[in-house]
Chain A
Amino acid sequence: GDSVTQMEGPVTLSEEAFLTINCTYTATGYPSLFWYVQYPGEGLQLLLKATKADDKGSNKGFEATYRKETTSFHLEKGSVQVSDSAVYFCALSDLTSGGSYIPTFGRGTSLIVHP
């Protein structure tokens, strides 16, 4: 079945540091890929997405490129802020044999940014 593996956290950075959170996936079909962010006490929110190979999703300074050859979708940001402290989830959505799109999530990576 489909699966998503992302780096374990917590990732601890100083403000203005460069961020990379690794995400790799396995899928039988041609999935869409997503990054979601969860702030304390809230639900997940879509951060960015990519629907086909070589697409780059971007939002709020975050970027991720759909790499089919390496089955990866790593999240990057050039300069993190304290307000970026949150849990980040990598996910894919693929068509099941039953004809439904069921998302598969990674376990989440906690990011802590210090001033």
Chain B
Amino acid sequence: NAGVTQTPKFQVLKTGQSMTLQCAQDMNHNSMYWYRQDPGMGLRLIYYSASEGTTDKGEVPNGYNVSRLNKREFSLRLESAAPSQTSVYFCASSGTGNQPQHFGDGTRLSIL
């Protein structure tokens, strides 16, 4: 069972570069989420998609954009990377209603 797959696992960028983090799930889940995890800050929600075709801002959306390409895939884009966006990024998905989330293994992103 693949579950939630994130690519790439590691990435180093220079300030001002752009990149897209990819996420795909194979559990037929409606909802998908992007988080960032920083030391001492826990998980902070960047964007979420409650269903195919909809996206909404979370707690820290500035500097990011998302695309729910289809039911399986939910990508996160950094248009102009900044050192403050150095973090570990997690994608998650969940089924309908109050279901637990399933997480990918994360993308470790460093911006120099």
Contacts and interface: CB of A to CB of B under 8 A. Distances in A.
A17 to B, nearest CB: 25
B103 A45 contact: yes
B41 interface: yes
A107 B40 contact: yes
B50 interface: yes
Interface stretch (B11-19, B65-73, B74-82, B94-102): B94-102
Nearest to B101: A103
A61 interface: no
Given A100-B31, A100-B48, A103-B101, A43 B42 contact: no
Interface of B: 4, 31, 33, 40-43, 45, 48, 50, 56, 58, 90, 92, 94, 97-106
Interface of A: 31-32, 34, 36, 41-46, 49, 51, 89, 93, 95, 98-103, 105-108
Contacts of B45: 102-103
Contacts of B40: 107
Contacts of A95: 98
B91 to A, nearest CB: 8
A66 to B, nearest CB: 13
B103 A43 contact: yes
A90 to B, nearest CB: 10
Given A51-B98, A101-B94, A43 B50 contact: no
Most buried by A among B45, B99, B101, B103: B101
A105 B43 contact: yes
Contacts of A106: 42
A100 B105 contact: no
User: 9 shortest A-B CB distances, which residue pairs?
Assistant: A43-B103, A107-B42, A100-B50, A32-B98, A46-B100, A44-B103, A105-B43, A43-B105, A93-B98
12 contacts: A36-B100, A43-B90, A44-B90, A44-B103, A46-B100, A46-B101, A93-B99, A101-B94, A101-B98, A105-B42, A105-B43, A107-B40
B42 A49 contact: no
